Copies of this chain bind each other. A is one copy, B any other.
């Protein structure tokens, strides 16, 4: 750190990959850009870091400003930094991406400050013929979704997709939506209920429209799921050559 070669100063932005499960499908929160570059195009919510602000505070503020979500009550973790020299036509902009996981909120996230915010099904962004996103947001989104998929295996974050009280079936549909697979209901319930501290029973029941009413649970104290819940051999990623 001693050389006086051409150093770079960059503008810093914080961008958010906000995930939720709606109608049994994974959705991503997008905004429509109001200004150039990429005006009118969908993008991840985010914005410039303020004067004496730290990264996490900035993520929480952006979340409130652009989507009227309360980031202090959401699962929020840093995803990574993206700084390719040409990722923003305005000049050098480094962005720090955060992954947020939200329960399926009653508000369709419109009408408020978050005028342009919409929930987009994830498969319209990562599947074939995807909706193009501004900047390198498509790559950031892919990284965010992949992170969520992995964390469902090894941690208890799945509960962050649910409201305060939830049924085992609701928790299972989170796994199915994020992984894009089906999960056996009986084995899933056994795994979740015997895992220490994943969920705790509340004693309440939810009267459903049909069938036997389901018991309600709240999320437990455990952060890690040990042993993990592994996806059916996820095409175990391999190194390029070697």
Chain A interface (Cβ < 8 Å from any Cβ of B): 1-3, 5-13, 33-35, 43, 46-55, 78, 80-81, 83-85, 94, 96, 154, 196-197, 219-224, 226-228, 230, 233, 236-239, 242
Question: Are B221 and A47 interface neighbours, CB within 8 A?
Answer: no
Which B residues are in CB contact (< 8 Å) with A7? 11, 48-50
Instruction: Judge whether B219 and A237 touch: CB under 8 Å.
Output: no
Which residues of B sit under 8 angstroms from A238, Cβ to Cβ?
197, 221-223
Main secondary structure of the interface of A (DSSP, over half): loop
Contact A46 B1 (CB under 8 A): yes
A224: chain B residues within 8 A (beta carbon)? 236-237
Q: List 11 A-B contacts (CB under 8 A).
A: A1-B13, A1-B35, A7-B48, A7-B50, A10-B10, A54-B83, A54-B84, A81-B81, A83-B96, A226-B230, A226-B236
Chain B contacts for A5, CB-based, 8 A: 48, 50
If A223-B236, A238-B197 touch, whether A8 touches B96 (CB-CB below 8 Å) is no
